[in-house]
Amino acid sequence: MKRKIVVKVNDLELEFVKNMLKVLRDSSQKIEISSLRFGTLGDYTLVSFNVDEENYNLVSENLTLRGLKLLTPEDEAKRKQTKILNEESNTQSFSSLRERRAGGKEAPSVQLDTAIEQGDYEKVIQLSKDFRIGFDLIKKAKENIETSIKAAIDKSYRNGVKSIFDIDSSVNQLLKIAGDKNVKAFNKHDLQKQAGLKAIALCESNIEENNNLIKICNNNLAPSIICVKAAARFYDAVQRNPQKAEEEISYAVKHLNIRWLRIAMDIAMPEIPQEEIDSVMNLIEIIQGRQGK
């Protein structure tokens, strides 16, 4: 036998309900949830669907525990909602109740605050997509994605500045951010450029890190302008240090991806100052001359 559930939602909650029901339906073939039907009640949307008797309690509890308003004539569901509402009002908020039921794990709100503070943007992005933590935390996570990315950039850069032994790992982390598809998906292109420029700055801070500039040049996931600027900085560094010029150029001849550098030049040309274009073209000419020998 099927039982009907009606949920009153706002626009944000509507997407949440759709995603949650899809997850429940996909998680078990035993859960039978009908197609959704929609109506309106003032400024709210009414979502109605049928669920099999065996899983009715599971579905209704998942909705109610997340603060959603169930509009159903069935006494059992009303008693369930009343019980949970009483528990919330007498002891703790829905958010706290949800966190207490997490089985002793660190509460999602604590996880989110820690991730934002420590620059763990990957965790923040993950939580922004996790319907289990509730609307308020999802919203907070989405609002702090940029903050956490900035914190990650600052943290990696500071580590490299503090110790020359951490420059390599810091450059790798900054390049990871600069080329991260998840960051790009949130249209944080300026932050990806910032991460790449910070990586270049760390390389320029130590003459022994010129080889890392070649690594940045070859990174085809980072913004093209970063590749071009790294090549220009490498050429300029070589020109300033004639004693190591031969060694540095020999390394570039073996490792620099000229084909990708030319593609990046074409893409980033409108954003590149003429002096940097000249440096890159000089570098390409030198390397091609060596390769032609």
Q: Where are the domains of the chain?
A: 2-91, 145-291
Q: Give the contacts of 63 (CB within 8 A, at least 6 positions apart).
A: 5, 7, 17, 20, 70
Instruction: Quickly tell me which residue has 């000419």 as its tokens.
Output: 285
Rounded to an integer, what distance in angstroms lies between the CA atom of residue 245 and that of residue 241?
6
What's the topology of domain 2-91?
A: VC0802-like (3.30.2130)
Q: Quick check: 203 and 216 in contact, CB under 8 A?
A: yes
Q: What is the pLDDT of residues 229-239, one digit of tens each?
A: 999 999 999 89
Rounded to an integer, what distance in angstroms lies between the CA atom of residue 259 and that of residue 261?
5
33 φ, ψ to 5°?
-120, 125
Q: Which two tokens stand for residue 220?
A: 């085809």
Q: What is the pLDDT of residues 60-104, one digit of tens each?
A: 888 887 788 887 554 344 444 444 444 444 444 445 544 444 444
Give one DSSP letter per residue of 112-154, joined into a string: HHHHHHHT-HHHHHHHHT-GGG-HHHHHHHHHTHHHHHHHHHH
Distance of CA 270 to the CA centre of its chain: 28
What is the reported pTM? 0.66
Q: What is the pLDDT of residues 112-157, one digit of tens each?
A: 999 999 999 999 999 998 887 888 899 999 999 999 999 999 999 9
Q: Which two tokens stand for residue 167?
A: 């420059």
Does 189 have pLDDT greater than 70? yes
